[in-house]
Amino acid sequence: MRYRSLGNTGMQASIIGLGAEHLDGKSYETVKETLDAAMENGVNIIDIFMPGHDIR
């Protein structure tokens, strides 16, 4: 995985992120499998916005 610096923070962001809106309503196992795979492959940016009022 390639990373880019986040300004002057010293933090590195993966150039590929995971948009997680599609995981809304999925089983725990599916969500865990997806997140584990992303993190095992170096993804460290995850967008967890969910559109539903109950979730937000």
Tell me how crowded residue 26 is: count the other CB atoms within 10 A of its CB.
Answer: 13
Q: Going residue by residue through the chain (56 aa), what tens digit of pLDDT does each one get?
A: 999 999 999 999 999 999 988 888 889 999 999 999 999 999 999 998 877 666 65
pLDDT of residue 56: 58
Can you list the alpha helix ranges (DSSP code H) found in 1-56? 28-40
56 domain-assigned: no
52 domain-assigned: no
25 domain-assigned: yes
Overall number of domains in the chain: 1
> Residue 5: which residues within 8 A CB-CB, separation 6 or more?
11, 12, 13
Q: What is the residue range of 23's domain?
A: 3-47
Q: By the 8 A CB rule, do 17 and 41 touch? A: no
pLDDT of residue 22: 87
7 domain-assigned: yes
Three-state SS at 20: coil
40 domain-assigned: yes
The DSSP bridge pattern shows strands 46-47 and 18-19 to be parallel
| pTM attached to this predicted model | 0.77
